[in-house]
Amino acid sequence: MFVKNTASMDEMDAPTSSSSEMVDIDSAMKRAEAPVKSSGSQTYSENETFKEIMGFSGWAPEVINCRAGMIAFVAALGAELQSYNHETFGAQLHNHVFSLVFASLLITAATFMPSMQNADKYTSKPSSKPYGVFTPEAELTNGRMAIVGLVAATVAEKVLGHGIFA
């Protein structure tokens, strides 16, 4: 599988931009783990493949699941508040499977986009570019809490027999 290298806004002014170069997905994932610059204690393995990154001990599965959990929690609460009959989380999951799958694929693609575009300043790995309060640890904590919230709301709705806001 190949990914087209596109130029970032910074590279568009540079005359030596290689925007037509094709990069295979394993090379893009290796680039995701390569050091951005010698930035203190951050070290990345340059030999990890897509399979290793998405494997059991890789960083990507938890990051992707946490991001999907945060979006799902907010979307489910919003949909329940907005709907006339206060559709439960379980009913939303059952009735909107395509939306769930589409959102999950979109989140996965967005997670790897910096590596697919050969970004120079940061990589797909969240620890490559912490930004103020938006640290990798905060993202994982918020994602884990959102997933726990989804499970707790689903259990509460099952016990109550109706939506949380009904």
Looking at residue 69, its pLDDT comes to 92
Q: Is the pTM of this model over 0.85?
A: no
SS3 per residue for the chain = CEEECCCCCCCCCCCCCCCCCEEEHHHHHHHHHCCCCCCCCCCCCCCCCHHHHCCCCCCHHHHHHHHHHHHHHHHHHHHHHHCCCCCCHHHHHHHCHHHHHHHHHHHHHHHHHHHHCCCCCCCCCHHHCCECCECHHHHHHHHHHHHHHHHHHHHHHHHHCCCCCC
Looking at residue 45, its pLDDT comes to 46
Looking at residue 32, its pLDDT comes to 59
Q: What is the pLDDT along the chain (166 residues), one digit of tens a residue?
A: 444 444 443 444 444 444 446 666 666 666 655 544 433 333 344 446 778 888 888 888 999 999 999 999 998 888 888 877 778 888 888 888 898 899 999 999 988 888 778 777 777 778 777 778 888 889 999 999 999 999 999 899 889 888 777 7
Domain parsing of the chain, residue ranges: 25-160
